[in-house]
Each structure stands twice: as structure tokens, then as C-alpha cells.
A and B are shown apart, each in its own frame.
Chain A
Amino acid sequence: MELNGRMWILDDDDINTDVIYPGKYTYELFSPEEMAKHAMEDFDPTFAEKVREGDIIIAGRNFGCGSSREQAVSCMKYAGVSAIIAPSFARLYYRNSINQALYVIECAEASRYAREGKKELQHKEARIDLKKGLIAFGGREFDFTPMSGKALEIFEAGGLAPYTKKRLESVKG
């Protein structure tokens, strides 16, 4: 499987769930479209209108730290983001991404290269080969460890909700 999309290179480390999806919205039961409108609102208020289907986020360390709020993942997915690349992710953000079938990739080298060359590379195309574990942009390739095991099983089922649904159905069989 291959992903192709424009890169959003974000310089910051520790981009937290409050700036990705503000707390004041977390107890509203929003539709996917409404959630998408608030993606990254307190980080970059123009992000939601500019982001396009398939876009790829490349950010700094500890992406998604803070709250357990799953909408910080869903809002990105509904906004069209196809993958997030960072040197490291907060644990809950990483789990929530697998459970929402949003591809997250730990790759320090790609993050460093993109951030150093941000001026030239911002919004340029990147290609990700999920099977081989390869990221390509700016004439360079970067390796990562592809998702495997239980995480991949959940991701391929389309997320934890469809995965659980299948398991429940097989029990009722």
C-alpha cells in the first residue's frame, strides 16, 4: 500500500492534544465534518481550510502529548490527513491512531531532514510505502519499521471499532 500527499512540515516538538483539538469541543458530539473544521485550531487556525485529502504531517518529538481525547486523531483523519511522521509520539496518541486507522510513523531522520529543509520542502509531495517501510521526498529515502502484529491487524480492519464488531459477530456466530 502506498500513500501520496503534500507535506505539512511543523517545526515544533510536543504538539499537544489541546492545540490539535481544543478541550472546549471534547464533550460536544460533533459530526466528522464538524470535527475536521477544528483540526489544529489552536496551533494554526488556517490549517483546516488549507489541508487537502491525502496530506501528510511531519512534526517534531512527542507528537500528540496530553489528553486521551481521541478526536485529536479523528479530526486529522476527517480533515484528510493520511499519515503523521514524527521522531516519537505520545503513547495515547499512538494507540488512538491505530484504533482510528490513521497511519503514524516514527522516523527521526525524515522529521529532521524535512524540518531542516522546510523552506524548500513545505507542501511538496511525499510518498510512503507502507509495506516496505519507506518514505521518499526531496530526492531522499528514509526507512521506518512498518506496523506489524496486533496493531497492523487493527489498522487493516479499518480501526478498532470494525475490529471489535467482527469479533463480536464471530462470538455470536
Chain B
Amino acid sequence: MGMTMIEKILARASGADRVQVGEIVFASPHRVLSHDNSAAILGIFEKMGGEKVWDPDRIFIALDHAVPPPDAKKATNHQMIRSFVAKQNIANFYDCGVGICHQVLPEYGHVVPGAVIFGSDSHTTTHGALGAAGIPIGRTEAASVWALGETWLKVPSTLKIELEGEMKEGVFPKDLILYIIGQITAEGATYKSVEFHGPVVRAMSIGGRMTLCNMGAEMGAKAAMVPVDESTKAWLDGIGAGEYEVLDPDPDADYEQVISIDCSSVSPQVARPHKVDNVVPVGDVGDVAIDVALLGTCTNGRFEDLEQAAAVLDGKKIAKGVRLLVYPASCKVLDEAYEKGIARVLLGAGAQIAVPACGPCLGAYGGVLAPGETCVSTANRNFKGRMGCKDETGIYLASPATVAASAIAGKIVANR
């Protein structure tokens, strides 16, 4: 019997020829990712009796969750992290403004096919877009990996999702993944690894694949991956990634479940409050007036997302009373948006462009909601209170095009 991607990757990372589903292995990561929570992690590391980190070249830290820091406490956290980074000679540190960890990690060549990436952030699944295993872990685990260079994992079974047909014009990867989550539910892939196959994912950009894998976290997945193809290799060449060995799934790999999705029938989708699997076509959402439209985050803050929104907003103005917040995923994204005139289109329509960071997605700062407000967002979660206030607020998740069209209309609508 052949092996799935996660089985091959975990076998290599644990120094075994093969692994079995359900087996416990100790895997050593190519990178361990953290962000502002590094302040907490370094405290745990020191409490554990850690002195020197196991490998300063394999630790990756990007400050993104409270950037620029909105208060002295969060600024102090950043200060603690900077001094730890200096003391430990951590090579891969990206300070405030470089971008969101899940964008910066691949942009700077830290993700290669076949790698194990542990991340102290639930959206670490994003890195499966490049054929790696991005596996989310907790803070204490991150501290333990800093100290020991490994952690234990149960080898998961794999859910194979075949994306058949062709996406209709005006339908984006975000619509597709919301549709899938609506079908298989928020726990449809719990404890499992997900592999996306089929002509639709083959034709999809790396950014689109990142959106799919990012949202894998919202179906409970341990990892979500796309097998490597020519697009992956071209993207990696483009950023000058080093050597890597591709670990493809075997044709006779043992999948726990195979689901086939006919993408030709998928229309623009929206996830209604307060669950990510509460999904309907945008046309069925009814009359929902909005106060905030959020474009960006690790799910949809890449150049192509800004470009798709700009195509809708070009020459138009957002509705009176609506705030359109743009959080590019990285400084490189923002730079390209300036270079190619996209930033001007967004500003011309009435958008506010922020420093590349997580922003109000997690409700800590930078555009949180007031009681009674409604937001349409390209982010990944619509839990009650997620954007900083739980009192009669509602978050609707959608694609950049839907968010842009809704900002113009002042209510949730699909782009026509």
C-alpha cells in the first residue's frame, strides 16, 4: 500500500521509512513559527529551564498580531521578543510591518515541499499550498520545540478532496472553500490531513491554494495540502527557494475518505454568523446592511485578492457610512499594490489602507466593531465576538470580490 503526503512527510521528519495511521512519531520541523505570542512562549521556555534554543536557524518569528502595537503592554511584548531574538541569535526574525507570519514565511523562502512546519498559530495549515505539512501547535508545545527540537504527533488519516469541473467566472477559491466547509462542516476534517486534488486546484494560483489550505483549519484539519506541480515549482523558483525534495502522494495511497466536488455548480458563497460552516450562496443571504468591510488577513490579503477587489471598486465609491479596511498580508504585497496602481484604486474608492498585519481579524485592535455592527470580511472566522465585541455584532465571511461589491452597495451582495 502506498502513502499519502502526510505519511511520507512525517516518515521523513521522524527518520522512518514509513509510518502507519494512528502511530505516534516524534517529528523535527524544518521551521517552527510563532508571532507576538513569542513573548508568552519565551516565558514558558525559560520556565522549562531552557537556556539555548535547539537551533536558532530553524526558528521563525514574525510580529503581526498587534502591529503597530496599540498600547504599552503589547509594545513591551515586542521589546521582550526583540531582546530574546538578539540573545539567541535567531536568524529568521521579521519585525513589525514586514507582514503576517503565514505570508512572510513562504515569501522569504522558509517553506519548501516536503517540509514539516510547526506553527503556534491555528492557520499554519496555509503552508500546505506548497506541498509542505503546516501543523498548528500550542504555545507550550512551541516552547518545548524551541528546547528539544521535536514534538510528538499522531499520524493522521487523510481526506482527499477532488475538485472537479471548472470554477465559473466571478467565483474564487474563497467561495469554493466556504462551499466545501458548508458541505463537510466545521469538524469534517478533525484530526485529519486534507489533500486537494483535481483540475480546479491544478489551475489555481499558489495564492488561491493558500486560501484553501488556510481555511483547512476551519474544518478541523491537522494539515491541508496540495501536491506539488509545475506552478509550485515556478513559484518557488520565482522567490529563489533553495533545494528541496518533492514528496508526492502515491497513486495507491490509502485515503480514509474521498470527496468529489463539482466546482462548476459553485456560486459566490458567504458564511453567516456565528459559525464558519453556516454557509449559503450570497444570493440567499437576504438584506444584510454592513458597517465594515474587511479586505485582507492571512486568508485573502495577497496581491491577487487586492487586485480582485480593485477590479470591482475601480471608479466607484463605497457606500456612505461604510468603512472599508484594507490589511495587506505583507509589505511586499503592499509594495506591488502601489507599483501596479491597485492601492490608488482602493484609496480612490474610499478605502483605508493599514500597515500589513492581522488587524481586527482577531479583535485585538485596528478596526474592532461597536455593539450592533455588522462586518463582511475576507478573514477566516466569524465566531461571536471575534472582532472585539460580542454585543449584537455579526461577521459574514466572503471573497474579496464580494467584500468589495458589498462595500459599494452598503449591504451584502455578490459582484455582478
Return the contact of B140 from the options A14, A18, A161 (Cβ within 8 A).
A161
* Residue B117 at the chain A interface, CB threshold 8 Å: no
* Residue A145 at the chain B interface, CB threshold 8 Å: no
Contacts of A14 on B, CB cut-off 8 Å?
Answer: 186-187, 275
Return the contact of B383 from the options A19, A62, A90, A167 (Cβ within 8 A).
A19
Given A161-B143, A164-B144, A168-B148, does the pair A88, B385 have CB atoms closer than 8 Å? no
Please measure, in the bound complex, the distance between the C-alpha atom of A69 and the C-alpha atom of B43, giving whole angstroms: 15
Q: Which of A49-57, A95-103, A115-123 contacts B (4 or more CB under 8 A)?
A: A95-103
Contacting pair A66 B383 (CB below 8 A) = yes
Contacting pair A61 B48 (CB below 8 A) = no
Q: Which of A20-28, A125-133, A135-143 contacts B (4 or more CB under 8 A)?
A: A20-28
Contacts of B44 on A, CB cut-off 8 Å?
Answer: 161
Q: Provide the A150-173 mask, 1 if CB < 8 A to any CB of B, else 0.
A: 100000000111011101110000
Contacting pair A68 B362 (CB below 8 A) = no
Return the contact of A65 from the options B138, B141, B152, B187 (Cβ within 8 A).
B187
In chain B between 58 and 117, which residues have their CB closer than 8 angstroms to a CB of chain A? 65-66, 73-74, 77
CB of A98 to closest CB in B, whole Å = 10
Given A14-B187, A70-B140, does the pair A91, B222 have CB atoms closer than 8 Å? yes
Contacts of B39 on A, CB cut-off 8 Å?
Answer: 27, 29
Contacting pair A99 B140 (CB below 8 A) = yes
Contacting pair A99 B141 (CB below 8 A) = yes
A-B pairs with CB below 8 Å: how many?
130
* Residue A67 at the chain B interface, CB threshold 8 Å: yes
In chain B between 281 and 332, which residues have their CB closer than 8 angstroms to a CB of chain A? none
Q: Provide the B30-73 mask, 1 if CB < 8 A to any CB of A, else 0.
A: 00000011011001100111100000000000000110000001
Please measure, in the bound complex, the distance between the C-alpha atom of A92 and the C-alpha atom of B381, giving whole angstroms: 16
Please measure, in the bound complex, the distance between the C-alpha atom of A26 and the C-alpha atom of B381, giving whole angstroms: 16
* Residue B364 at the chain A interface, CB threshold 8 Å: yes
- Chain A residue at minimal CB-CB distance from B387: A23
CB of B99 to closest CB in A, whole Å = 18
Contacting pair B362 A23 (CB below 8 A) = yes
Contacting pair A24 B363 (CB below 8 A) = yes
Please measure, in the bound complex, the distance between the C-alpha atom of A67 and the C-alpha atom of B119, giving whole angstroms: 12
Contacting pair A26 B364 (CB below 8 A) = yes
* Residue A42 at the chain B interface, CB threshold 8 Å: yes
Contacting pair B50 A168 (CB below 8 A) = yes
Contacting pair A150 B77 (CB below 8 A) = no
* Residue A82 at the chain B interface, CB threshold 8 Å: no
Contacting pair A23 B122 (CB below 8 A) = no
Contacting pair A42 B220 (CB below 8 A) = no
Contacting pair B37 A26 (CB below 8 A) = yes
Contacts of B254 on A, CB cut-off 8 Å?
Answer: none
Contacts of B50 on A, CB cut-off 8 Å?
Answer: 164, 168
Please measure, in the bound complex, the distance between the C-alpha atom of A117 and the C-alpha atom of B141, giving whole angstroms: 38
In chain B between 376 and 394, which residues have their CB closer than 8 angstroms to a CB of chain A? 381, 383-386, 388, 390
- Chain A residue at minimal CB-CB distance from B191: A91
Contacting pair B77 A18 (CB below 8 A) = no
* Residue B190 at the chain A interface, CB threshold 8 Å: yes
Contacting pair A160 B140 (CB below 8 A) = yes
Return the contact of A91 from the options B140, B147, B190, B383 (Cβ within 8 A).
B190
Contacts of B37 on A, CB cut-off 8 Å?
Answer: 26-27
Contacts of B77 on A, CB cut-off 8 Å?
Answer: 27, 29
Contacts of B404 on A, CB cut-off 8 Å?
Answer: none
Contacting pair A92 B363 (CB below 8 A) = no
Given A91-B220, A164-B143, does the pair A29, B362 have CB atoms closer than 8 Å? no
Given A19-B384, A26-B362, A29-B77, does the pair A68, B186 have CB atoms closer than 8 Å? no
Given A18-B383, A18-B385, A29-B39, does the pair A92, B140 have CB atoms closer than 8 Å? no
Contacts of B368 on A, CB cut-off 8 Å?
Answer: 24
Contacts of B390 on A, CB cut-off 8 Å?
Answer: 19, 22, 42
Contacting pair B121 A65 (CB below 8 A) = no
Counting chain A CB atoms within 10 Å of each CB, the highest count among B43, B49, B363 belongs to B49
CB of B287 to closest CB in A, whole Å = 26
- Chain A residue at minimal CB-CB distance from B124: A68
Those 9 A-B pairs whose CB atoms lie nearest each other, nearest first? A62-B187, A18-B383, A23-B363, A23-B362, A96-B138, A42-B385, A68-B122, A164-B144, A70-B138
Task: Mark A residues whose CB is within 8 Å of B.
Answer: 14, 16, 18-19, 22-24, 26-29, 42, 61-62, 65-70, 73, 88, 90-92, 95-96, 99-100, 149-150, 159-161, 163-165, 167-169
- A selection of 26 A-B contacts at a CB cut-off of 8 Å is A14-B187, A18-B381, A18-B383, A22-B385, A23-B362, A24-B363, A27-B36, A27-B66, A27-B74, A42-B390, A62-B220, A65-B186, A67-B122, A68-B120, A68-B122, A90-B220, A91-B190, A99-B141, A150-B24, A161-B47, A161-B144, A164-B50, A164-B144, A165-B47, A165-B48, A168-B50
